Chains A and B, each alone.
Chain A
Amino acid sequence: MSRLIAYRLALALPQLAAVSLVVFLLTYLIPGSPAAAILGERADPESIARLEAQLGLDRNPLVRLGEWFSGAAAGDLGTSISSALPVTDLLLTRLPATLSLAFGGMVVATAAGIGLGVLAGVRPGGPRDRIITAGTSVGLSVPEFWFGLILTLLFAVELRWVPVVGYVPLTTDPAAWARGLILPSIALGIGAAALIARQTRGAMAEALTSRYVDTLTAAGVPRRKIIGYAFKNAMVPVLATMGITFRILFATSLVVEVVFAFPGVGNLLLTSVIGKDFPVVQGGVLIVAALVIAVNLLIDVGYGLLNPRVRPQ
């Protein structure tokens, strides 16, 4: 297992470097100068040129890329063009909100997805299975932002059980943190939950038709215990799905952050892309990529724990 972790960690570095390079190149392809964006719509060409020089935007892109890589290796992601603040500080301030939301979304996706999938899979074709399968179709087809708005109207505006907006850091007030996470987490996790539920349902139904299940049943093993054995086997393909699902979930969280006014990396990235704040965009994408790689690593480790055959020999 430690070899698997070491191998994946070694792969992470070139992956992050490749992501950074692509983002750097993409920011060059976007038309328009950041200096023009900062100076406003009536800036004259001389002012734009002066500011570009001041920001170092007139220098060789390769030199800038090299400087950025060496800075990033030392934990310095540069300085924000629009706020003149260190990008690392900006991102570290926003990271807890993003991690909270991703955590909440994963909890919802995992708990609801696996729970509902198992409930449907143990009695395939039954009324409960049909209801859950229909529900997952809705969950897969409803956009997260729309679902978020509906949840807000119902639980925040009408019932007033939870706040419309209200991210509070975990360290400040854990109860308020949890309250503020409820609606965004459900909105974020519902699509992923539907995907996981479908996969779990299929894997569970298949596992329960295996020959070892027939043997255990014939041996008089209680149904509850048999479902437990089948569940462990069913989780192997489900974990693979969860890896993909969580990647999608991270991407979706950027939209959910905007809908729920979550002060996370996604919100920061959005304003930075619009304002052409290249250093923040590069740093933000690097952080998101690192998070996705970390989550995938955790899933690979879990996969290896559940299925010894996939562990590297």
Chain B
Amino acid sequence: MMEFPAARLVAALATALALTACSANDDQQTTPGSGATLRVNWGGFPESWAPGAEGEAGYTRVPYENLVEVVKGEVKPMLATSWEQTDTALTLKLREGVVFHDGTPFNAEAVKVNLETVRDAPGPYAGPLKVIKSIDATDDLTVTLNLTEPTPSMLTTLSTRATPMTSPKSIADKSIAQTPVGTGPWAYDAGSSTTGTRMTFTAFDRYWGTAPAFKTIALYAIPDDNQAVGALSSGEIDLSDVEPNAIDRLKGTPGMETLMYPAIRNNPMFFDRGPGGVFEDVNVRRAACYALDTATYVKVEPDMAVRSQHFAEGEPGYNPAVTGYTHDLARAKSLAGGKQISFEVLAAPFTQKQNEVYASQLSALGWDVKVQVAPPPQWAATWNSGKYPYGLGANDELTPFDWYQAWFAADAPGNPSGTESPALKAAADAAIQAGATPEANALWAEVTKVIADEALTCAHIAGQETLAWNSAKVTGVAAPANAWEPNLVNYRDLKPAGA
């Protein structure tokens, strides 16, 4: 028997919570997600939806579309139906009858506004667009990008999440940051959304293409992987990006399926290649490459996969003759010739483990490698600045031209020593000259081979993205066609289960 009103208060509160909880169960059965609503989580909403701002593709590709798309290395029409590229310009013919979700017509002027916004915005995507000197809206459906130098990768850049087409009206009034307005099959529905928790997108009835099978897509931002797995298991969401270790936990949940696909790739870079540098000698670089044992590393990191080279089979730049540096410590020691090397490497928290494993492997050569850890902003600003002779980071360039320009050209931001061998320069120049001709692929494959032979980088690894979904709610789930994009699914192919 209770002796004091406080105890009754506790009992009353518990009863109220229980009653509220019971009603939660009732509500869950009517929560959107069954039928034509797909509920998806990618861990965190973009801070801004403006073109040029960084955001996970799983969010931005719901309302936004690009001028072109790249499927298995081949550029295909999207909002642009055809194109013509020269060394100095890229001219695109635009699709007729396309409108943005706010009714603004999609035309050459809209393309100009979007690309200029990305190019001039202070963001991570501006770099690849700096080669656009000017943009001419020749007529309503023709736009020409005037280039400062031959840029064979420009079409690929136009397919990435760096260059979505958004409403110029929303860009002008700056509402685009919080209210995405694109041309995609689903339009943002602010009335059905809860800021920070759920963003709802409904089928756009003036969409130019085939109507999607799911009428509504509700996007969630659940940062904690355990909670995301819980939400999948309880049926609150239908699809989510999860950590690989969640696969086993989800096996007991009926209807739960998973897949992994390769996305971001990373590899060590030897920055100090200039005269007198730690890695000036190609044999020292090769020794390091043979000492690094990626096969062992992926055993402790199941979301990583070993690759022989940066590009995958079927992608421009792939060279079947490049087999990589398979771990061979005896050969590594022979190449190192007993040379004692001591250096520091800067790691971010998310690359610390990999750096420490690699440092341990390099120590088998008698080298002294110290790993320093810095917060992400400091790491991002310093790791490839030239202060450290060696570094480990993501290589997310989609084309061999971009990869070469980012890391290996004499003036590349990722080549602080500024050195480039005559062989590499000759191979790259030949490939650049080939432009978009059929011969270009073979020439870029040769560039890949030179980079591998000179051991400018090695120990290639691809991060594996893991998707988990409830097959009782959604079917047709596959890796996205957009190459290398993490946190994404093939939205347009998805169908409600039983449809």
Task: Give CA–CA (A153, B47) in the complex, Å.
Answer: 30
CB pair B375–A161 under 8 Å, yes or no, is no
Q: Does B320 belong to the interface (CB within 8 Å)?
A: no
Tally of contact residues, A, Cβ under 8 A: 77
Chain B contacts of A153 at CB under 8 A?
230
Chain A contacts of B126 at CB under 8 A?
39, 47
Q: Does A51 belong to the interface (CB within 8 Å)?
A: yes
Within the complex, the shortest CB–CB distance from A69 to chain B, in Å, comes to 25
Chain A contacts of B224 at CB under 8 A?
258-261
CB pair A160–B234 under 8 Å, yes or no, is yes
Chain B contacts of A12 at CB under 8 A?
none
Q: Does A70 belong to the interface (CB within 8 Å)?
A: no
Within the complex, the shortest CB–CB distance from B25 to chain A, in Å, comes to 6
Q: Does B23 belong to the interface (CB within 8 Å)?
A: yes
Task: Give CA–CA (A37, B122) in the complex, Å.
Answer: 11
Task: Tell me the nearest residue of chain A to B414, going by C-beta.
Answer: A42
Chain B contacts of A84 at CB under 8 A?
48, 50, 174, 177
Q: Does B378 belong to the interface (CB within 8 Å)?
A: yes
A83-B47, A122-B3, A231-B6 given; A167·B226 CB < 8 A: no
- Which of A73-132 touch B at CB < 8 Å? 80, 82-85, 93-94, 97, 107, 111-112, 114-116, 118-119, 122
Chain B contacts of A42 at CB under 8 A?
127, 384, 406, 413-414
CB pair B48–A231 under 8 Å, yes or no, is no
Q: Does B210 belong to the interface (CB within 8 Å)?
A: no
Q: Does B103 belong to the interface (CB within 8 Å)?
A: no
CB pair B20–A175 under 8 Å, yes or no, is yes
Task: Give CA–CA (A264, B223) in the complex, Å.
Answer: 13
Chain A binding surface SS class: helix
CB pair B378–A82 under 8 Å, yes or no, is no
Chain A contacts of B220 at CB under 8 A?
165, 261
- Which of A168-182 touch B at CB < 8 Å? 168-169, 172, 175-176, 178-179, 182
- Which of B27-56 touch A at CB < 8 Å? 27-28, 44, 47-48, 50, 53-54
A160-B234, A161-B24 given; A167·B194 CB < 8 A: yes
Task: Tell me the nearest residue of chain B to A155, going by C-beta.
Answer: B21
Within the complex, the shortest CB–CB distance from A277 to chain B, in Å, comes to 8
Chain B contacts of A160 at CB under 8 A?
24-25, 28, 234-235
CB pair A261–B124 under 8 Å, yes or no, is no
Task: Give CA–CA (A85, B7) in the complex, Å.
Answer: 48
Chain B contacts of A178 at CB under 8 A?
20
Chain A contacts of B413 at CB under 8 A?
42-44
A30-B375, A32-B374, A32-B375 given; A166·B222 CB < 8 A: no
CB pair B122–A182 under 8 Å, yes or no, is no
Q: Does B438 belong to the interface (CB within 8 Å)?
A: no
- Which of B100-134 touch A at CB < 8 Å? 122-124, 126-127
A39-B124, A41-B380, A157-B234 given; A149·B196 CB < 8 A: no
Task: Give CA–CA (A228, B7) in the complex, Å.
Answer: 12
CB pair B194–A169 under 8 Å, yes or no, is yes
Q: Does A304 belong to the interface (CB within 8 Å)?
A: no
Q: Does B315 belong to the interface (CB within 8 Å)?
A: no
- Which of A30-57 touch B at CB < 8 Å? 30-45, 47-48, 51, 54-55
Chain B contacts of A43 at CB under 8 A?
124, 127, 380-381, 413
Interface string of B345-385 (1 = CB under 8 A from A): 00000000000000000000000000000111111111111
Could you list some 15 contacts between A and B, CB below 8 A?
Answer: A32-B378, A41-B394, A93-B196, A97-B196, A153-B230, A156-B236, A161-B18, A163-B236, A164-B231, A164-B234, A166-B197, A167-B194, A168-B194, A231-B4, A259-B224
Q: Given A116-B10, A155-B21, A168-B197, 6 more contacts at CB 8 Å?
A: A41-B394, A42-B413, A43-B380, A164-B234, A176-B27, A263-B195
Chain B positions near chain A (C-beta within 8 angstroms) = 3-4, 6-7, 9-10, 13, 17-18, 20-25, 27-28, 44, 47-48, 50, 53-54, 122-124, 126-127, 174, 177-178, 194-197, 220-224, 226-227, 230-231, 233-236, 374-385, 393-394, 406, 413-414
